[in-house]
A and B are shown apart, each in its own frame.
Chain A
């Protein structure tokens, strides 16, 4: 069955950078878009961004654009989220999720899908 396992979380200082990883198994990783979603303490879910199956296109929430970078290594079945200039507001559990049904033509989203499988999340705490 599909398994997604996030890692790389921990306690980090404000202003620093962090890279989260998500290793996928039980699927042909290179055939699927992948999302990142976060959940801040006591609050709900926030969509962070999505990367296409081949990594050529990334789309981000306005709230993280310019600070977050999503990438992937299909040879390692691994998804990444690099977060720069961390602040307390970035303290959250970060989830990776497999996309189903989202389509794009020449970088333009033509059909939006849903998050079919999720990992259990990695906790990032930003604190001095």
Chain B
């Protein structure tokens, strides 16, 4: 099972919006609405930001939103803030024997 494809890095200035893509196949991202996104600051516990493509857990800022089109899911961060600087990973259920797959990860830099 190959990892989902994400851009290695995305950057933006404070207040701007950025979008991170996550490309898979019809066996994972395209086939199910089980895409989630995780924020990871180095040395800390990862944190879920979006689940089931476009749902925000309680306590997550509404600056974070998710969507999906075909085999590609996206995470948009609006009103970029310094605290958003982190690594972001998408994840999807997959119909392969390995039930879940993560993306390659995207480093978000706030300029």
Residues on A lying within 8 angstroms of B by beta carbon are 4, 37, 44-47, 50, 59-63, 65, 95, 97, 100-101, 109, 112-121
> In the bound complex, how far is the Cα of B32 from the Cα of A44, in angstroms?
22
Residues on B lying within 8 angstroms of A by beta carbon are 1, 3, 32, 34, 36, 38, 43-48, 51-52, 57, 89, 91, 93, 96-105
Number of A-B contacts (CB under 8 A): 71
**Distance to closest chain B CB from A2 (angstroms):** 10
Residue of B32, B45, B51 touching A118 (CB-CB under 8 A): B45
Contact A114 B45 (CB under 8 A): no
Residue of B45, B46, B48, B100 touching A112 (CB-CB under 8 A): B100
A-B contact pairs, 26 of them (CB 8 A): A4-B45, A44-B89, A44-B102, A45-B89, A46-B102, A47-B91, A47-B98, A47-B100, A47-B101, A47-B102, A50-B99, A60-B98, A61-B1, A61-B100, A62-B98, A97-B46, A101-B51, A112-B93, A112-B99, A113-B34, A113-B51, A114-B34, A114-B91, A118-B45, A118-B46, A120-B44
Contact B103 A44 (CB under 8 A): yes
- A120 contacts across to B, CB distance below 8 A: 43-45
- A121 contacts across to B, CB distance below 8 A: 45
- A100 contacts across to B, CB distance below 8 A: 51
Residue of A44, A63, A95 touching B98 (CB-CB under 8 A): A63
- B105 contacts across to A, CB distance below 8 A: 44-45
**Distance to closest chain B CB from A117 (angstroms):** 8
Contacts A62-B1, A114-B52 known; A109 to B99 CB distance under 8 Å?
A: yes
The 8 A-B residue pairs with the shortest CB-CB distance, nearest first, are A112-B93, A114-B51, A47-B100, A114-B36, A45-B102, A118-B45, A44-B105, A112-B34
